[in-house]
Amino acid sequence: MATMTAAFFDGAGKMELKEHPRPTAGPGDAVIRVRATGICGSDLQMNVDKDAPDLDPAGHEVAGEVVEVGDGVDSAMIGTRVAVEIIGHGRACTTCWYCRQGQFIQCQNKSGATGGGFAEYMMRKAGGCYDIPDSLSWGEAALVEPLAVSIHGVRRGNLQGGEVVAVLGSGNIGLTAIAAARAMGAGKIIATARYEQQAAMAKRLGADEALPDTGPDFWNAIADCTDGRGADMTIETVGGHQSASATQAVEVTRRQGRFVIIGGFRRPFEFDFLTPMLKEHSIVFSSCYNVIDGRHDYELAVDFIESGRTRLEEMITHTYPLAEIQQGFETAYDKNSGSVKVQILQD
């Protein structure tokens, strides 16, 4: 059996390299030689929550080259450069009711997990491989996934041109939410940021202001550009093990405004529904990416990066080879390192 090098969380705080069976393509599948994989905030959160070693490599912000296809897949796909949608379309049955609506993330019959991008190779359904142009670097191509997450949230929030948007959090998804909202017509974007490098990046990607998430400055900036009403749409991207950002979303969104929850909250918490009910808020949850109005969020993400409507490559502050993935995770955890986006690159 052919093997490959892959990285696994050991259940005790470390990423370790192991030899692992190299995937082979079954019917409808594609095997991808991984070239770039981003370390997502959710990877960091999930590792904190785990109490046992990984059985399969993780990593879902993936770009690479198709090297093998299974029965039913056009062999011309071999050699193509792709961004891999590994959570929804890459595992979807394509025949259930949700898949027929293009809602692959909600598929009722998803295939089993087959490992992610923290490895030399990975396998997914060929339909989940989205072509990327030669003009995109591998690093840019691996940013298609987080940008698609944010494009989906902005689309589900029904952003209207010229609206004031508040973005809670300037981590990776907060930053791509800023970029997506700017590209899709936001008038003003006011963001929260905890670290200097995040605030600076938020402004480079389109935020008019990037302010601390505590204290009066954030609300004052929103109030100043809305005559005290509040943001038309708020995008919550923090999630995790806290609930303050959900309460803050209620506070800064105008009456009859919308707020979109993209952040993955990792534990239950109490939430006061009376205030958003009285303010007639629309609360929208957004999970990953799907087809809206005939186009998949991945397709839009590729278009936005290729056309220059979003310039995300400067988000990549640190890169490491697969052999140094533990150092990559340590850098991603430690925001005092100046890290924004850490990626694992492979030749």
Show Cβ contacts of residue 182 under 8 Å, excluding neighbours closer than 6 positions. 189, 205, 206, 207, 310
Cα–Cα distance, 94 to 127 (Å, whole number): 9
Reading phi first (left if > 0) and then psi (alpha if -120 to 50, else beta), residue 239 is in left
Cα–Cα distance, 72 to 215 (Å, whole number): 58
Q: Answer whether 328's CB lies under 8 Å from 341's CB.
A: no
Cα–Cα distance, 260 to 281 (Å, whole number): 10
Q: CB atoms < 10 A from the CB of 246, how many?
A: 21
Q: Which residues pair with 122 in a beta bridge?
A: 32
Q: Which residue has the tokens 């640190």?
A: 318
Distance of CA 281 to the CA centre of its chain: 25
pLDDT of residue 88: 96
Q: Answer whether 7's CB lies under 8 Å from 57's CB.
A: yes
Q: Which residue has the tokens 């996934």?
A: 145
Q: What predicted TM-score, i.e. pTM, was given to this entire model?
A: 0.96
pLDDT of residue 97: 98
Q: Which of 46, 36, 44, 2 is nearest to 22 (CA)?
A: 2
- Number of helical H runs and strand E runs in the chain: 11, 17
Using alpha carbons, list the distances in angstroms from residue 80 to 18, 27, 68. Answer: 28, 18, 10
Kindly tell me the burial class for residue 267, based on how many C-beta atoms sit within 10 Å of its own C-beta (0-12, 13-18, 19 or more): exposed
pLDDT of residue 1: 75
Digit-by-digit pLDDT tens for the chain (347 residues) are 799 999 998 888 889 999 999 999 999 999 999 999 999 988 887 766 666 677 889 999 999 999 999 999 999 999 999 999 999 999 999 999 999 999 999 999 999 878 999 999 999 999 999 999 999 999 999 999 999 999 999 999 999 999 999 999 999 999 999 999 999 999 999 999 999 999 999 999 999 999 999 999 999 999 999 999 999 999 999 998 899 999 999 999 999 999 999 999 988 999 999 999 999 999 999 999 999 999 999 999 999 999 999 999 999 999 999 999 999 999 999 989 999 999 999 98
Cα–Cα distance, 34 to 48 (Å, whole number): 25
Distance of CA 90 to the CA centre of its chain: 15
Q: Which residue has the tokens 């009910």?
A: 277
pLDDT of residue 186: 98
Q: Answer whether 20's CB lies under 8 Å from 4's CB.
A: yes
Full set of structural domains in the chain with CATH:
3-143+312-345 (3.90.180.10), 149-285 (3.40.50.720)
